Amino acid sequence: MTGPAAWPGSPQPLGARVCQGPDGVPGTNFALWAGGAEAVELCLFDDDGTEVRHALAEQTEEVWHGFVPGVLPGRRYGYRVHGRWDPWTGARWNPAKLLLDPYARAVDGDFAPDGGPLPAEVYGHVRDWPQQHVADTVRDERDSAPYVPKGVVVGDDAPGGPTDGRAGDRRPGTPWAESVIYELHVRGFTMRHPGVPPELRGTYAGLAHPAAVEHLTRLGVTAVELLPVHQFAHEDHLLRRGLRNYWGYNSIGYFAPHAGYAATGTRGQQVGEFRQMVRALHTAGIEVILDVVYNHTAEAGELGPTLSLRGIDNRGYYRLQQDPRRYADFTGCGNTLQTVRPHVLRLITDSLRYWVTEMGVDGFRFDLASALARTATHGVDMLSPFLAAIAQDPVLRRVKLIAEPWDVGSGGYQVGAFPPPWAEWNDRYRDAVRDFWRGALPDVRDLGYRLSGSSDLYGHGSRGPCASVNFITAHDGFTLRDLVSYDRKHNEDNGEGNRDGTHDNRSWNSGAEGETDDPDIRALRRRRLRGLLATLLLSTGVPMLVAGDEMGRTQGGNNNAYCQDNATGWVDWSLLDDPGWQALTDLTARLIRLRRAHPVLRRPAFFSGSARPPDGVRDLAWFTPRGEEMTESDWYAPTTALGVHLSGRDLPQRDPRGAPVTDDTFLALLHAGPAPLSFTLPGPPWAAGYELLLDTAREDQDAPPGVRYAAGASIELPERSVLLLRALTPADLRQKTE
C-alpha cells in the first residue's frame, strides 16, 4: 500500500530518530545515505504485517530523508531503493527487496525464522538460475518483505531506549597495565549456568545476573570481551546443514544489539537490556569490550543475499575487483567494506561512537583489522583513512582499541605495525608459549621477548608492553584443555569433512588422543594447564583468558566451533563440581590476585635490562639452570628451562602523588621438560634468599607456608612446572630470625 510522501524532514542524523516535526507534531525522522539511487521508499509495517510505503522525496548530498508524523517507538520499518540493475558495472539496485537500515538501532525478526535455509526471495538475483555462473546477473522480482527482519524505531527516552538503564552508571576506567581481559560469548557463557534462571540463559540479562557476574569478580578479571553482539545473520550453507552461526562474525546491523540475545523483547527492549547489562558489569568494576566486525557483512559475495548495503549502493559500500561484478575479498567471507569512502567511514565511526556514548561500552576488538586499514589500491597502510579517522576522534581515541592485526589478503599480516593508541592480539606470543610447553622451541630467544612484553614488536613509536594482548587460546582454535588433549582437530560435526579450521595447532595430546581414563595422562594434562595459565598471567603485557579455560572447558577437539550453538560451544559449569577443575579455577584467581597486587608483574613500560648501581642488579635478568646469567650462546642453545628475575626496585612509574613505586622482586622458573631438573638459585646481589609463593606442580596449588631457600642453593625443579619465588633481602632474613 502506498501512503503519502513523507514530509521533508532533515538529512541529519542518519537513521530513524523520534522527534517533533513542524508545529510540534510527534513522529520520526528517517534519513538514509544512498548515493547513486534513483528513488527511495520508506516502508512502515503494522503489527499485522501490513506495509505502507512513503516516498522520501528529499535528497541532500546523497542522503534521502523525510519526516513521518505519528510514527513512534516500536514501529517496524525498512527501505526499498530504486536504481539500475547492471551487475557488470557493480550496480545491483532492486526495489523488490526490503532492505535493513544500516543505522537501525534495533531489529525485529530473523532472516530464517523457521530455522530452514534462506528463502530464495531474499536474494537480489535469481538464486536458483540453472546457469549458476551467470545467476548473479539475473534480477529476482519477488518481494522479500515477508521473509526478512525489520528495523525498529527506538526512542531515546522510551523503555528500552539507549538512555534506559544509564542513570548512575560509572565506567571503571581500568588502566591498560591493570587490565585482565576475559573473552566470552553472551549466549555460551550463560546457557548452562545453574545459577542463572532458565528464562534468562543465553541473554544479556543472563550475563547481568549476579550469579554470572560473581564468577567474573571471583576470578578478578577487569574486562569482558564479548564475541560479536551486533545484529548478525546465519549463512545459508549452515542453515542447510541444520546449523547456525554461533560466534556471530556475520554482521548486518552495526547499531543494533543482536535480537537473539534478548530476554525482554525485540521491539527496542533489547537496547535497554543490553544497557542494563553494561551497567551491572560496570557496577562490579568490569569493563565491556565489543568484538566488532566492520571488515565485511553478511551479504557475502556476488551470489549472496541482498539484505542491506548491497541494495542501497553496492558500489558505494563494497570493494569491487577490476571486474566490478566481483568483490574484492580480504576477509574470506565474500566481501570487504570500502573504508576509504567517507560515508563508509562515517557509518563505522558513527556506530563506534554510539556504542560508547549511548550504550556505555569501554572499547573494541576489531576483527581482521588490516582489512579496515587498506587503501584505495588495496594495500595496508598505517596512515589509512580508517586509522586516521579513529586517531582524531575525541571519543574513540580515548577508549580501548584492540586490533586483530591481520586479514587473509596479501600483505595483511601486520603484527607490531599498528600505531598508538592501538593494542594488538599478539599471535607470536601464543605460538612461542605453546611451542615451549610442548617442547618444540629450538631455543628460547623468541620466548624471552614474549614473556617480557614483546619489545621487538612494540618498542617503537611510544608504544609499550600494554600494546601486546597476550593470549594462548581464543574463541578461534582449541580450548586450553583441548590444547593438551589433542594432536589433531576434530571438526566433523561442522559438516565440512574436517577441512575447516587450522591444521597449525601447536598442540600435544599428552599421550592419548582425546579424553582418557588414564590417571597419569589426566594428571599430566592438568599440570600442563597450570603451567600455561601461570605463564600467561605472569607475563608482561595484557593477558587475555577465554571463558571456561580456567575450569577445563573442552570442545571435544573442535578447533572451529563457529557453528556449534550447543553443548560443544557453551561453557560447562558442571566442571566446577570436579575438585581438580575447581582447583584450576582457584589457581587462575590466585594468579590474577598476584598480578593485581604487584606492579612489577604489570609494568606499563619495557624493561631496560641495564645494570643499575650500586650493585649492578638489572630490572630484568635471565638465568640458566646453573644459576648464571644467560649469555648470547645460551639464547641460541636448546633448553627446557629458564629463570626470569624481575626487579621491583626503581619501577618506571609513580603513584598519584608522584612518589616512586617499588615492589617485591621475583624469580620465576619455567621448566617444560619431562623430568625434574636441578636449578641453582642466583646468589647475591640478586637475592639473599628466596621464599616460595607458587608451585604449579602441586595439585592443591598452596605452597607450604614458610618454605625458604638460601641464595645459591640448588633446588629440584619439578617437570613441566612454574615456580614463583620472592627474592628476600638481608632485612627479610633478619626479620624472620627475630
With a CB cutoff of 8 Å and minimum separation 6, the contacts of 656 are none
Q: Reply yes or no on whether 128 is catalytic.
A: no
Point out which residues pair with 66 in neighbouring strands.
30
Q: Reply yes or no on whether 404 is catalytic.
A: yes
Given the residues 367, 550, 565, 695, select the one marked as catalytic. Answer: 367
Are 185 and 293 in contact, with CB atoms under 8 Å apart? no
H or E element that contains 709: strand 708-710
With a CB cutoff of 8 Å and minimum separation 6, the contacts of 607 are 452, 453, 455, 540, 618, 619, 620
Task: Report how far apart the first and last C-alpha atoms of the chain are (Å, whole number).
Answer: 92
CA–CA separation, 122 and 99 (whole Å): 10
CA–CA separation, 629 and 682 (whole Å): 9
Alpha helices (H) in 397-546, listed in sequence order: 427-437, 445-451, 455-458, 480-483, 519-538
Query: And the C-alpha cell for 80?
Result: 526499498
Length of the chain: 738
Which residue in 454, 448, 456 sits closest to 468, CA to CA? 454
| DSSP state letters, 657-677 | TSPBP----EEEEEE-SSS-E
Three-state SS string across 104-167, please? Answer: CCCEECCCCCCCCCCCHHHCCECCCCCCHHHHHHCECCCCCHHHCCEEECCCCCCCCCCCCCCC
Dihedrals phi, psi of 224, to nearest 5 degrees = -105, 135
CA–CA separation, 263 and 420 (whole Å): 39
Query: And the C-alpha cell for 534?
Result: 601461570
Given the residues 404, 549, 619, 732, select the one marked as catalytic. Answer: 404
CA–CA separation, 250 and 231 (whole Å): 8
Active site positions, annotated: 367, 404
